[in-house]
Amino acid sequence: MEILDNHRLTGARWAPSPHHDARPGGSGVELAVVHCVSLPEGVYGTGAPERLFLGTLDGGEHSSFADLDGMEVAPHLLIDREGEIVQFVAFDRRAWHAGVSSWRGRAGCNAFSVGIELEGCVADGYDARQYESLRRVLVTLVRHYAGLSVERIVGHAEIAPGRKLDPGPAFDWSGLLRNVTADVAACGLDQQPLIGT
């Protein structure tokens, strides 16, 4: 798994979304935000999150989708329950995933973050295959983008407190961050540092 010159991840299926724009003011990748999504809530394998992110979801598909009609949102990546990865937006672009948000006093986190959606909901746990894919993605991002580090991996709830809960209380932060930290350290022993923004 690596990141190409066009800011796309090898090992991810490319499904380009229109829901992005330029990162403003020279912002780079300085934060990774973990989310969860399922449509309908708690139902997996429907393909509806991908259609939402591509702008092709029909609000009439399900009674709970009505207020999603016309919503323009997308993460950079979606990891499904089997650990398969889809990329919607190149990492050098601002994807519209976090909404009103703030991290360490800095508002508008979309400008300087990568958004990663896990197929799931805050009431559920996550599949081991999702953790494995997420770990590999985060190690690759941290190694590639100089502005990103293990300390700069957060949940949506952390940057939008009181408004968002994802990825939820069942998410294993300690295990994930321990594994990512170990992998980044191991990579550093035999890899040249990579240039990135």
C-alpha distances out from residue 143 to 1, 26, 87, Å:
11, 20, 18
Catalytic residue among 72, 117, 151, 158: 117
Exactly one of 101, 156, 168, 176 binds Zn ion (CB under 5 A); that residue is 156
61 as an active site residue: the answer is: no
Cβ proximity to Zn ion, 32 vs 143, nearer residue: 32
Question: In whole angstroms, what is the distance from residue 136 CA to residue 168 CA?
Answer: 21
User: Computed over its alpha carbons, how large is the radius of gyration of the chain?
Assistant: 16
Residue 2 vs 41, nearer CB to Zn ion: 41
Q: Applying CB under 5 A, which of residues 20, 23, 35, 94 lies at the interface with Zn ion?
A: 35
**Tokens 């976090």 found at:** 98
Q: What's the distance, CA 117 to chain centroid?
A: 4
Stretch 165-184: interaction string toward Zn ion, x if CB under 5 A: -x------------------
Residue 132 has, within 13 A of its CA and on its CB side, a CA count of: 7
Q: Considering the complex, what minimum distance in angstroms separates the CB of residue 110 from Zn ion?
A: 11
Whether the CB-CB separation of 88 and 95 falls below 8 Å is answered with yes
Closer by beta carbon to Zn ion, 109 or else 143: 109
Provide the binding-site residues for Zn ion, judged by CB under 5 A. 35, 156, 166
Q: Which residues are tagged catalytic?
A: 117
